[in-house]
Amino acid sequence: MQDNIIVRTITRILIPFIQLYGLYVIMHGDSGPGGGFQGGVILGSSIILYVIVFGVDQGRKIIPEKLSDTLNSIGVLIYAGIGLICMIFGGKYLEYNILPLGSAHFASHIGMLGIEIGVGITVAAVMITIFFETARQER
Amino acid sequence: MNISQHFPVMIVIIPLISAVIIPLIGRIRRIYGWYVSIAATFSSFLISISLLMTVFEKGRISYWLGNWEPPWGIEYVVDYLSGFVLVVISFIAFIITVYSIKSVGKEIPEHRITPFYSIYMLFVAGLLGMIITGDIFNLYVFIEISSLAGYALIAAGRKRDALIASYNYLILGTIAATFILLGIGYLYMVTGTLNMADLRERLPLLYDSKVVRTAFAFFTVGLSIKIALFPLHIWLPNAYTHAPSVVGALQAATATKVGVYAMIRIMFTVFKPQFILEVVPVSQIFLFLSAVAIIAGSVLAIGQRDIRRMLAYSSIGQIGYIVLGIALANKSSIIGSLIHILNHALMKGGLFLVVGAVVYKTGITDIDDFKGLGKRMPFSMAAFTIGALSMVGVPLTVGFVSKWYLALGALQAGMWVFVPVILISSLLSAVYFWRVINNIYFKDDGVPARIDDAPAGMLMPAFTLAACCIIFGIAAFIPVYITGFAAEMLLRG
């Protein structure tokens, strides 16, 4: 589809908005509909759109295998790490409100946001990885 | 921070975190993934022992995730039952991990070794989570984690057959998981709670409700597929046969055992024993099915040419034993079932490890080609023989102990008809193991002379399991003592 100028241009314009929306959904996960999983899927879909239009090789230049594999792990580590940090500060696993961030309410907010970001990273990276793997099989 | 109060969650978190660290650290050197796996499974094993000891000291441990009080939050529970099963599963996982590297190096393409260990640890984390959780929806999540990891592990087999076996397992396993989820949904619908202890309090008032009975039917069928109870066992033989040797051993020794544990949890702690014995007499169905499974598994095992397939059919028979003990539902029979979870894990794990060593050295899986292997691989075959004797149920091995308690339970329940079933099945297993032993020791031709015994890294784990078969056959009072408490706890109405 690289030859089609309309598709190429529209994709270039759309991708930033898709990603912005993905980030919005992740950040508002604790106070509105959405969250890490949904936002992660939206973020991942922006890369998938790019790969569909510009091809697998070009896509791998933007997201090399190393990067997507690392992000797969990083997201879960953020999630698990926040749980462990809560334990270090004397709470139970994932007890965010114990974190020393002023009020318990604010600490819960930050803790939840943290794990949503972790979930978002992993989900986006996994979507991208699955797409690259299936695309590679068909060549 | 007192670290020991966090042990219930650590036992799940350590394998889980190592599963995501392995892909990162495995980029530096592939062997590091194995080191991390060993460290994680070993620390899980130590933690599980500490938890079991704490249970004996202070009673039931309850850990609230995020400090949300149950029934609202997720609760992790360690009692006599889950403590015992945790020790068994983490021990087997540790032994098989130590064993794994040579076999994995030979059977898995080099670039897939790091992902293999990552999924392997995910599988272990799922199993340990299934055991420790006290929340029925969390149970479903962990069932799915371990099952999905299990499908991927089986698909890592060398031949294309592995993909087909994995796919069949995927279909049946997903149906099973869906049934379990439906059951959970129905229970949630009528009670509004997902906590097991809370469900136990609320359900007796609703035992006449059709919704609760439907839920129980879904649980029964779903878990029966997961543990491969006889007519629902179709996925198991191919899965164990075509999986990589390490995965075959791990699945055979742990996956179905944890499935049985989940079944015990649902039948005895979410519902009360009175429900399965009187309200919905499902125990009658299980008695019949397990007797059929015991005989049919053994008979089908006799007809197999491939040793792994033979062991797989034998596993179907052994699952029958465990379910028989549950369905008889008295103290002796439940002790028999619970120690058979340990004993079968030791025996079948050890046998599969030896088969893995044979595959590593010779590539042989056909029983007819085992001729003269006793001379070429004497130590491996000694471990195999101990496992085989134990499977038959020779006294002083673990197999005898669990059959003894099951027979005792059958007599106490007044169902003497199951005693001949156990005896006949023992004779049948003697028949199918004799075919192998006969080829190993009493035939001469076949295996080329250049074959020598397996490396120490494979022999030691196999011998550890074989030694445990004898140690716990003689010192049977240790597991019987622990499971005695568990059985009493389960039968408390």
Tokens read off for B415: 């169902």
Sort out which chain B residues have CB atoms less than 8 A from A64's CB and list them: none
Question: Distance from A89 to chain B by nearest Cα, in Å?
Answer: 7
- Average pLDDT over chain B reads 90
Position A105 confidence tier, pLDDT thresholds 50, 70, 90? confident
Answer whether B21 sits within 8 Å of A92, measured CB to CB. no
pLDDT tens track for A2-27 = 678 898 999 999 999 999 999 999 98
Which residues numbered 68-87 in A keep a CB inside 8 Å of some CB on B?
Answer: 69-70, 72-73, 76-77, 80, 83-84, 86-87
Closest residue to A87, CB basis, from B1, B17, B24: B1
* Assembly ipTM: 0.90
Residue A139's pLDDT is: 46
Q: How confident is the model at residue B59 (pLDDT cuts 50, 70, 90)?
A: confident
- Alpha-carbon distance of B299 to B296, in angstroms, equals 5
Q: Which pair of tokens denotes residue B147?
A: 């099952």
First to last CA, chain A: 16
8 A C-beta contact, residue A47 and residue A62: yes
Q: What is the rounded (10 degree) CA torsion for B430, B431, B435, B440?
A: 20
| B493 — pLDDT class (breaks 50, 70, 90) | low
Read off the pLDDT of each residue in B400-413 and give the average, rounded to a whole number: 91
Residue B75 has phi, psi (to 5 degrees) of -115, 135
**Which chain A residues contact residue B64 at CB under 8 A?**
92
pLDDT at residue A137, as a whole number: 61
- Given a contact cutoff of 8 angstroms between Cβ atoms, the answer to whether B256 and B323 are in contact is no
Among chain B, residues having any CB pair with chain A shorter than 8 Å are: 1, 6, 9, 13, 16-17, 20-21, 23-24, 27, 63-67
pLDDT at position B274: 85
Distance CA B380, CA B89 (A): 23
CB atoms within 10 A of CB A42: 23
**CA A96 to the chain's CA centroid:** 21
Best A92, A119, A137 member to test B by mutation, with max B CBs in 10 Å, is A92
Chain B residues close to A80, C-beta within 8 Å: 13, 16-17, 20
pLDDT of residue B457: 85
Q: Is residue B1's pLDDT more than 60?
A: no
Among the ranges given (A76-80, A99-103, B117-121, B125-129), the one the predictor scored with the smallest mean pLDDT: A99-103
Tens-digit pLDDT profile for residues B228-278: 988 888 899 989 999 999 999 999 999 999 999 999 999 999 998 888 888
Residue B415 confidence (pLDDT) above 90: no
Whole-angstrom distance between the N-terminal and C-terminal Cα of chain B? 38
Q: What are the residue ranges spanned by the domains of chain B?
A: 340-493
- Residue B77 pLDDT greater than 80, yes or no: yes
Alpha carbon B110 to chain centroid distance? 28
Q: Is-contact B173 B165, C-beta < 8 A?
A: no
Confidence of residue B389 (pLDDT cuts 50, 70, 90): very high
Identify residue B162 by its one-letter amino acid code. Answer: A
Q: What's the pTM value of the predicted model, to 2 decimals?
A: 0.94
- Please state the separation of Cα B449 from the chain's center in Å: 37
pLDDT digits (tens, 9 = 90+) for B169-191: 999 999 999 999 999 999 999 99
CA distance B162 to B242: 5
